[in-house]
Structure 1
Amino acid sequence: MNASFFRLRQCGALAAGLLAMALSSGGAGAASEAVNLRFIGRYVPLSCYIREASIDVALPTVSTQSLSSPGDVAGSTRFDIPIECEGAPGQVRAYFEAGPTTDASGRLNPLDMSPAPTPSGVQIELLNGDGTVIRVGDRTSVKVVNITEGVATLNMPFYARYYGSGGATPGVVRTYVTYVLDIP
């Protein structure tokens, strides 16, 4: 059976914080002016890490007829991101970063797999474990996971599925998305 794959790539923990810089420069021959550097950050007593750096998700083979109209979906497949957290109670979520495979809708476009045929009219859509749609690049669309005090090892549940964007043609669907852990 042929299967389509997409890959999740983990890039490390997302540091919460903001760097603000105010630089001023004087004109030629002017006296030096003071330069202020202001750093604002947040330290939280919760620490989380991802237990697997890359995850391959194999979607089932589906007919192009099942994706013939815009908005048609097929092949929903569960995958988990395994994490371990320790420290005080808090929340964490996986933030799927927008990148070269992401379109404006927050879905993933197939990569060109030449010489294999690259399909058209099909994308990969990500969903939270409860079935709500994730817009890649929009952290507010990803559900947070509550962490209790102590050490917690858990699997964050998600789904991936084919999404018909109109007139699907056959081919091998391969794409990827990068994710990081976000402590809101």
Structure 2
Amino acid sequence: MAASTAFAQTAVTQGKVTFNGELTASTCSVKAGDEDKKVDLPKISTVDLAKRGDTAGSTSFEIGVSNCAPDVNKVAAHFEMTNMDPDTGYLKNLITDDKVAAKNVVVQLVNSDGTGIRAGATGHYYDVTGAGTDRGATLLYGGQYFATGQTTAGKVNTFARFTLAYL
């Protein structure tokens, strides 16, 4: 008993998180029309999303960037933590009306190879090519349904904000 009491008395209950980052004056521009993308996921049966971790309805989207500074060699989308489901790190369903909302489902952002991107993370980087205002890249990502349990029929709606990130 004394050992467990001693451990409890010395347990660490506080800590520190250090943030390091870098800002750059060099940028790219998101192409007109790509700053507010609409992605329509297909209508999928709840049978395909029967248990936690099941995915379905993968749908790709592109973000075009242009007018990249000469010293920008790679660019990616960093997806902000807006609408993050704390359990999965993916995008929660914003429809809250129980009569119309699908249950036990979130939207998972994915890289072009299908690997998941959690909200608050950066997708794969793409090479910047070209010259002048044509210097840019096409960023290819996707979204899909991700079951957090046995899903129920209904509507899904969410969104992710993104910021361009550079290497």
TM bucket, shorter chain: 0.7 to 0.9
Determine which of 112, 135, 140 is the counterpart of 2:95: 112
Please list, as runs of the form range in 1=range in 2, the aligned pairs for 1:46-85 lying within 5 A after superposition.
47-51=27-31, 52-85=34-67
Matched residue, 2:147: 164
Would you say 1:152 and 2:135 are equivalent positions? yes
Q: 1:147 to 1:153 in 2, by over 3 A?
A: closer
One-letter amino acid matched to 1:172: K
- Stretches of structure 1 lacking an aligned partner (at least 5 in a row): 1-14, 18-41
Matched, 1:97 2:77: no
Note if contact 1:101-1:176 (Cα within 8 Å) is conserved in structure 2.
no
- Alignment size in residue pairs: 142
Once residues 118 and 58 of structure 1 are traced to their aligned partners in structure 2, the CA distance between those partners, rounded to angstroms, is: 16
Runs of 5+ consecutive residues of structure 2 not aligned to the other structure: 1-20
TM-score by length of structure 2 reads: 0.76
Query: How far apart are residue 160 of structure 1 and its match?
Result: 0.7
Query: Which one-letter code corresponds to 2:107 in the other structure?
Result: I
Structure 1 position 100, deviation (Å) = 3.0
TM (norm. structure 1) is 0.69
| Partner SS for 1:94 | strand
Between Structure 1 and Structure 2, the one with more strand by share is 1
Q: If each structure's helix is expressed as a fraction of its own residues, which one has the higher value?
A: 2
CA RMSD of aligned residues (A): 2.1
